[in-house]
Structure 1
Amino acid sequence: MAGINDWIDNEVKSNDVVLFMKGTPSFPQCGFSGQVVQILDYLGVDYKGVNVLTSDELRQGIKEYAQWPTIPQLYVKGEFVGGCDILREMFQAGELKSLFEEKGVATTAPEAAAG
């Protein structure tokens, strides 16, 4: 299992924003992954989507990597931020945009939070 853990670790650390999801950003294959993609697209954040459905080892490995049982999982600058519910709450509170800005990740979202 060390191999997949190292691979995940490398993806997380070599990309500013990584979303481990079911499906791809252009074709999410679960509702939760789709919601996170919509949020990131709205914020205009440049991110890498990793499809966990390509490998059972990856799907299991990412859960162990973050000690988090569900997918999607968002990482920003090497840190685990959360899954769909957490990201949705942070987005609605305007905290997600602030997090990206604090971490030096560019967003193109309008200033005022929607909703």
Structure 2
Amino acid sequence: MSDVNARIGDIVNSNDIVLFMKGTPLFPQCGFSSRAIAILEHLGVPYESVDVLQDMEIRQGIKAFSEWPTIPQLYVKGEFVGGSDIMMEMYEAGELHQLLADSGIAAQG
């Protein structure tokens, strides 16, 4: 498991925003991943996505890495934020936008 933890750690630490999801931003494979992408797209921030359906080691490893049982999972500046429900709550309360601003991540465009 340490090899997959190192791979996940590299992904998380080399991108300001990473979403581990089922599918891709253009073709999400579950409603929760679709909602998470919609939130990030609405915020207009650059992000990296990882399709856990393409790599079973990462699919299982991310759950242990974050100690969170479900996917999608959002990371900002190397820190685990939560899944789509937490993202939605934070977005609706303005907290997700504030977290990104506090992290120095600005909307593009």
Corresponding residue SS for 2:49:
strand
Name the counterpart of 2:61.
61
Name the counterpart of 2:39.
39
Partners of 2:91 and 2:71 in 1: how far apart?
A: 18
Does residue 86 of the first structure (1) align with residue 82 of the second (2)? Answer: no
Q: How many residues align?
A: 109
State the 1:57 CA deviation.
1.1
Name the counterpart of 1:25.
25
Partners of 1:57 and 1:10 in 2: how far apart?
A: 15
Give matches, 1:92-107, under 5 Å: 92-107=92-107
Deviation string, structure 1 residues 25-68 (Cα, Å, up to 9, x no partner): 11110000000000000000100000000122111000000000
**Aligned residues of 1:97 and 1:107 also touching (Cα < 8 A):** no
Partners of 1:15 and 1:56 in 2: how far apart?
A: 21
**Aligned residues of 2:46 and 2:108 also touching (Cα < 8 A):** no
State the 1:108 CA deviation.
4.9
Q: After TM superposition, what 4+ stretches of structure 1 lie above 3 angstroms from structure 2?
A: none
Corresponding residue SS for 1:19:
strand
**Aligned residues of 1:33 and 1:84 also touching (Cα < 8 A):** yes
Name the counterpart of 1:112.
none
The CA RMSD over aligned residues, in Å, is 1.1
Aligned amino acid, residue 78 of structure 2 = G
Unaligned runs of at least 5 residues, structure 2: none
Name the counterpart of 1:9.
9
Normalised TM-score (structure 2)? 0.97
State the 1:2 CA deviation.
1.1
Identity %: 59
